[in-house]
Structure formats: structure tokens, C-alpha cells
Amino acid sequence: MKKRIIISMVCVLTMLLALVAAGPLVSASPPGAPGGNGGEAGIAPGEHGLGWLPSDPDPKYKLDTSKFGTGMPLAASVDLSGDLPPIGNQGAHNSCVGWATGYYYKTWWEKQEHPSWDLTNDMYYFSPAFIYNQINEGKDEGSRFSDAMTLLQNTGDCDYKQFPYINDYLKQPNTTEVEAAKQYRIPDDWGFFFNEQTWGPYYTRADVITDLKTHLDGGTPLVMGIPIYLDFPDYGVNPNADYYVYDGSAANAGGHAVFIAGYDDNANPGGATPNTRGGFLMVNSWGSGWNGDGDVYLSYDFVQDYVPDAWSMGDRDSIPAISGIDPSSAAGGDVVTISGTNFGASRRLAKVTFPGAGSGSVPGAGEATVNSWKNDEIQVSVPDDAESGNVYVFDWDSEKSNGGSFLLAPFSSGSWYLAEGATWPGFGEWVLVQNPNTEDSVVELTFLTPGGPITGPTFTVYAQSRTTVNVNELVPNQDVATVISSTNGVPICAERAMYVNTLDGKWGSHDSIGSPGVSDVWYLAEGATWTGYDEWVMVMNPYSETVDVDVTFQTPGGEITGPQLSLQGGTRDTVHVNDFAPNSDVSTKVECLTSGRGVIAERSMYISAPDGKVGCHNSMGSSQAAGGWAVAEGATWPGFEEWVLIQNPTGTAALVYLYFLTPSEVIAGPEFMLASGSRESICVNDYVPEEDVSTLVFTDEAGQDVVVEMAMYIATAEGKLGAHNSRGSVFMSTNWYLPEGCTADGFDEWVLVMNPDTENSADVQLTLMTPEGPVAGPTAMLPPASRETFHINDCYIGDVSTQVQSTNKVMVVCERAMYVGTPDGKSGAHCSLGVLASDVDQGSSGSGACQLPAETLSSLRSRYRNR
């Protein structure tokens, strides 16, 4: 074989002597900056770092090369180097893998997404040190492509200006830099074309050149790990060369990671064969002065016979995207959580804006005050002059997200809404108000009836106590919805209980927590209109103007169009579902059609079925569909029949998995495909008989979203009789409130706590809030992925609200169930999910409420799927 530039044996001996004189490959001299002057011609061996190490040979990383290419004949040449940053210089450190994958490859990909980025500005090219410093195991001895791409997939990379390349291979990124990098992660489609584990010295293998060229011809670069032989251009005393072909005689100085930006079948016109004429365009990290301009063509012959590995990686969208705002309705000063992805870190020009804000006299008032900022979650305070409309997140470079729908709350900050309510003969309604703070709260009630709003009483709820309001005494003989507002800024939470015994046969009790805001859409997963099932949906409009509402029903057979409502301001309306979707299992979607406004929706059911089911149950709707849900309550002992109801209100089919958590183990439940616009019912008794049980529901992947509720029918030998129901929780938290509760004669109260964490035990403390003040409750340690039951009657007798805290910050989910048979005729059973403390504390300003975090259950999806 022939080289364009021939090096004599004298030169080789000279280079070997220079290598010995130079000492180890790692030197103490600082590396040059990108495009700096550290790459002079004639640099001695050892003064340029190398650093490529063989990667994990796991076959799962082997690329399917059949997916590459255009299907057309390959071009004679390809050059993708026009979208690269200036030639960089790794100096003496063995950081070449970080330069090839982060500095060159990741920058090239982001330039495709952001054509306007100026790659001479160090904010727009990516840090090699961020990658190398996290994969070098604390030693400057090189790294592997597989480790770099794993880091890029899981952690990402941040820009050079944020994490510069300096003479410190041990420096680790701070919290801001880690969050900034998450915006720039890669997908899991990376892998190798070939991956040898030894240095040849000469590989006998099938053709690899065609696959590499096909990949490049398809418009995507790649990286290689190559041997640096002592005849390499501009290495030691070697002259510059446009083209490199190795003849097998020079010694190997070590492995080096390089970026491949293209190829040219005629890079060396004088070559005797196609493989010594053609070459791959290699971009180096030894400075702009190396080999004249920092690059060289590697002959096809060299790559085919001597290069040990080549890798490709893709890219994922880095544009900020909002998936939800919680609560979606809030007043000025409230704290809302914006969920999504690619928010990056709070740095440079990053901000959140609200509609209408900034129209006042305060400059920049449209920007929300940021309380915390992570790549997938931002907490902000709503500007005082915000209006309904779209909220936007802007990243560090002012790249704008999609709009997240926000509704300005019609009542003051910290108000709670209860859509259901009735005070007709045979209906007894009670509103329960809990104040978990260390200051007293002044509370005002407003009742919304079909005839309009009625002003209710104002009263004080003392610190860490609970107050009960008998609605029948204030608004008799009415359908009634209720708004509960704190007027002095000390936040509260609220719940409603109803006891039913009517002349037409309705019997039992039901209950639900309130909603901390309005929403433009509500989902009600449970529902049935078979013989003996009487279903009602209640919709309240707390605004002063009329809103239009559309109701749609999802059944196992598909969607059914329901009524359209026009709700006058300050009113509530009722829909009898049996009139629209008879003799069916049914879920409901309630959508407010009036722009900038929202409603609150609940569902109640009255049951007297041929198979003996009796009672009634109720639940507030869910304002979002999600990929992960938890139901803390559940029992399948004799006399308890439990059902989990799963609704798919989206336009995408969802693959659904269930897991059941008992006090001692996790049991895998059914897996099934749930069609768009349909609903499925799962009888838990069929999978977990005779157990206390909590339930987790996950979809297979992000973008598949469902809604979950649980219903139970009870008829036990000891006299428990009735039905109860609760919606599932999208969130787990370290702090929950349960406003309702009673352990007086005839009331049997239980608090159910679930620890969905698969790795950590949760230390749980209950505090009971009574009319007289707080009382210490029981404690327990919940093992990973388990459930615990607390009998409140054993701890206190009387009216009681409950706080459930995880003192070691392991997040849990909780509910409360009550079984009723009192001397004055109250009977049945009811249940409710707890209130997230974050929904209460958002309105607090130094009131002593404990502001603790919440996270979505979908974050646990992979842990359970990989069990």
C-alpha cells in the first residue's frame, strides 16, 4: 500500500525517541480553548491527549444499519462539517470522547434544530468537559463511547459557556448545570456499527465502509475510535497531509475518538484502489493549527482494516413543552406548578409569562416570580394582573414553549369548590373545613343554586382544627353547590359529606373533597346506568357570566354525545346520565366551551341493584388524564367487592398495566389495550382475593393517558353495608390532609396509606385535627411498595380531620374510608382521596403551613415495568 506522504524508518526512529523523551501521554500543561493556538504543526507525541477506550460489547447496542440511507445511489462525496463549531483543542487531557460526542456531535445536532445559532458563540456549542468529567471515574485515563452516550441519554450536555473546558478533569457540574443539560438529552437509538475489543493489528471482517457511507449520505455524521500510529499526519515530526493511509509498519501510540463529518470517494486521486482513493473526513480535537486546519481524510483502507469502532447517535427535540398546569385555575398570588419537558434551568433569559400580565404600571409584570425551576417542573406565583389564556415558558435563549391553558379563578386565592349538594327532604349535607396552619383562618361560604348565588356565613376555623357546617340549616330544599373561601389569606381545605334516606328509595352516604380551582375539562371514570344504578353529573359555574358546557359519555362500545348546557353565572346544573347512555358502563367528559372560563364537575350514583348492591357514592372529577395513577384504598375480604374503573378520553389507544400493593407484596395485575374514547372495569377480587390492597395503574409510555377511579360495594357479616368511591391520584406527596372524619357512636373511620416507592420505606406520622386542636396520632414504617391501614377510632372519639406526613420525605398516597350506622339513622359508607398539601399551602404567606413537594406517579412507571 502507498501513502501520499511516505515517512522513512529514520523518521520513525526519531519519533520513537521523541515519544520516550516526552514521557507519559498526560501532561500538566493546560488545554487550549476551542479554536485556540494549541495545535501547532510538528507537535511532539504526548503533547496531544488521546483517550479512547473500548466500549461495552453488549449486542443490544448494535445498530440496525438497514434503516439508514435514502435508497438512492450513494453520492460520490458528502460534507456535513458546515454545521460544526470552531475546531477545538483537548490539550494534554485524554478527553477526546467528550470532544467527539459532546462538542462536535451534540452541537451538530442542535444546529439542525436551531439553524440561527451562531456557532462562534460559546453559548451555542456543547461542553466536552461536562461529559468527560462525569465518565472518567476520577482519572485522566480516557473514556468510552458507550459511557458518553449513556450519559447523553440520561443526563444530556450543557453549553460550553456554562461548563467550560478548563485544566480540571475532576470538576463536577452543579445543580443548575445538571438541569440545563437535561434539556439537551439524546434518545436511546444510539449504538455501534462495529465494536472490536482488541487492536487488530489487522481486522478481517466484512465490508464496513458501505454502511458508514450510507449513514453519512443519509445526512447524519458519526464518531470513530481510531488508533493513532506514529506515522499519523502532524504527529511528532510528521508533516501535514490531506489524506492518511496506514501501511502497518508504524507503532501504535494509543486510541483516539474523532468526529466523522463526511466522505469523498476521490479524496486521494492518486490512490491505486478505491479504498486508497476514498476517505472519511475526520475532524480532530487537537486545535485549529493541527494538520493545517484541524481535519484529515482517513482512507477507506485504514478504516476497514484498523479502526476498532464506529458509533452513531440521534437527537431529541429540545424545545420547551408544557404538558399541564396544576392547578389550572388560580388567582393572583397563587402558586402553580407547570409540568412538561425541556425547560432546562433558571438561567440567562429563562422566564414564565402569563396572559394579560404586565398591562399595569409595573414594568415586566408579565413575568411570573419563579419559586423553583427544574427541567420538567416549574413553580411560579401567578402575577396579580394575570388573565385567563395561555401561559408560556421561555428557555435560556428565549425559545418559546407551546401555550399551557390557564384560567383565572373567579374567587379569591385559596378557595375550594364543591359541585354536588342537596338539602331536599331525605338529604343531609355537611361541609367540613380543615385549617392545618398555626394561625386562625377566617372563612366565608357562598352557595350556588339553580336560581343563583346565596351568601353564606363567615366564621373562624381555629389553627390546626376542623369546623363542620350543616348546609340544610342555611339553604333548605335546594340543589346546591358551595364555594369555601379564606378571607384573611390563611389557607384551608374542604370536603362535603351527604347522608341520604329518601322516600323514593335512595339510601346511604357519599363524600368528596373539594376542587382547589376550575378547569376547562373534567373526566369522570366511574359510572353505570344498568337496572338499579341511578347516575347524576353535577356542573357548577362560579363565574358571574354564562358559560357553555359540552357533556360526552365514553362506554365500552365507544363515545355517546350528551347534552350541551348553558349555565348562568353563579349557578349549578344536573345531568341525569341514564337519560343519555342507558344500560351501560359509562365514563363522562365535561368540557367548558367558553374561552377563558372553567367549571367544576362531580358525579353521584344511587344504587339498589338486583344482585344486592345498595348505597350511594360520589366523586369529584379529574382535571387531567395521565400515565400513572394510585388508589390507596381497597379491600377484597368477604363482603367487599372492589372495582377499578379506567377511562381513556384521549385520541390515542393506551396499553394499560395494573399492579396491586398489599401489606406484604406486589402482585402484577392485568395488562390490556384500552381503545380511544372507551372505558374498562377491573374486578380486583379476581386478582387479589381476601386482602387489603392498593392499586397502581400505568400506561406503557408517555403520551398514553387515562383516568382512574375506584368503587367498592360492601355487605359484611359484621354489618357494614353500602358503597363508596374515590378518584385515583396522579400525585404522590410527603404531606396530605383529610378534612372529613368522625369517630362518634356509629362512625367507623379508617385512613389508608400507600407507599408506592419500590426502594425506600416511608416513616408515616398522623396528626388528628379536632374542634379543640391537634392530637398526636399513630406512626408506622411502611416498607417499599406496600400499604398500611390506621383505625382512627382507636386514637380519638369525635369530629376529626387528619394530616398524614412522611417524616423521611418518601412520598406516599392516602385516602380515608368511613362506615356509618348511627342512632339517628345515618347509614352507608363513604370514601375520599386526601388533599395534596401543596394545593393548600400554595396560598400561604408565612401562615405556618408545611409546604412539601409532590411528584407524579408516572415517574415510577419504569421501576414497576422492570420489576
Q: Read off the pLDDT of residues 23-80 as tens digits, 9 standing for 90 and up.
A: 323 222 223 334 333 333 444 555 789 999 999 889 999 999 888 877 789 999 999 9
User: What pLDDT does residue 839 have?
Assistant: 82
Contact 695, 756 (CB under 8 A): no
640-669 pLDDT tens trace? 999 999 999 999 999 999 999 999 999 999
User: What pLDDT does residue 89 have?
Assistant: 97
Q: Which set of grid coordinates corresponds to residue 225? A: 475510535
Which secondary-structure segment (H or E) carries 131?
helix 128-135
CA distance 495 to 434: 9
Q: What angle do CA 144, 145, 149 make, to 5 degrees?
A: 125
Judged against a pLDDT cut of 80, whether residue 829 lies above it is answered with yes
772-805 pLDDT tens trace? 999 999 999 999 999 999 999 999 999 999 999 9
User: What pLDDT does residue 88 have?
Assistant: 98
Q: In CATH terms, is domain 9-19+49-312 a member of 3.40.50.720?
A: no
User: What pLDDT does residue 801 have?
Assistant: 96
80-106 pLDDT tens trace? 999 999 999 999 999 999 999 999 999
pLDDT, mean of residues 318-342: 89
440-467 pLDDT tens trace? 999 999 999 999 899 999 999 999 999 9
Contact 637, 688 (CB under 8 A): no
pLDDT, mean of residues 212-216: 97
CA distance 68 to 219: 10
For the ranges 197-201, 286-290, 704-708, the lowest mean pLDDT is seen at: 197-201
Share above pLDDT 90 across residues of the chain, in percent, rounded to a whole number:
81
User: What pLDDT does residue 853 have?
Assistant: 57
C-alpha torsion 661→666→670→672, nearest 10: 90
User: What pLDDT does residue 68 have?
Assistant: 82
Query: Domain 321-408 is classified in which CATH homologous superfamily?
Result: Immunoglobulins (2.60.40.10)
528-549 pLDDT tens trace? 999 999 999 999 999 988 999 9
CA distance 530 to 555: 12
Contact 208, 193 (CB under 8 A): yes
User: What pLDDT does residue 225 have?
Assistant: 98
Judged against a pLDDT cut of 60, whether residue 610 lies above it is answered with yes
pLDDT, mean of residues 608-615: 95
CA distance 744 to 354: 48
Judged against a pLDDT cut of 90, whether residue 359 lies above it is answered with no
Give residue 23's region: left, alpha or beta (phi > 0; psi -120 to 50). left
User: How would residue 507 be classed by pLDDT, with cut points 50, 70 and 90?
Assistant: very high
CA distance 571 to 554: 26
Judged against a pLDDT cut of 80, whether residue 357 lies above it is answered with no
| pLDDT, mean over the chain | 91
Judged against a pLDDT cut of 80, whether residue 236 lies above it is answered with yes
Contact 493, 517 (CB under 8 A): no
User: What pLDDT does residue 44 have?
Assistant: 56
CA distance 240 to 222: 24
Pairing of the two strands 481-486 and 252-264: unpaired
SS3 category, 853: coil
pLDDT, mean of residues 397-422: 91
List the chain domain ranges: 9-19+49-312, 321-408, 416-857
User: How would residue 846 be classed by pLDDT, with cut points 50, 70 and 90?
Assistant: very low
User: How would residue 409 be classed by pLDDT, with cut points 50, 70 and 90?
Assistant: confident
pLDDT, mean of residues 746-762: 97
Q: What are phi and psi of 276, to 5 degrees?
A: -110, 0
Which secondary-structure segment (H or E) carries 148?
helix 145-154
**More reliable by pLDDT, 850 or 613:** 613
Judged against a pLDDT cut of 50, whether residue 14 lies above it is answered with no
Judged against a pLDDT cut of 50, whether residue 719 lies above it is answered with yes
User: What pLDDT does residue 535 have?
Assistant: 98
User: What pLDDT does residue 131 have?
Assistant: 99
376-399 pLDDT tens trace? 999 999 998 898 889 999 999 999
User: How would residue 360 be classed by pLDDT, with cut points 50, 70 and 90?
Assistant: very low
Q: How far is CA 55 from the centre of its chain?
A: 31
Judged against a pLDDT cut of 70, whether residue 11 lies above it is answered with no
User: How would residue 12 be classed by pLDDT, with cut points 50, 70 and 90?
Assistant: very low
CA distance 633 to 638: 16
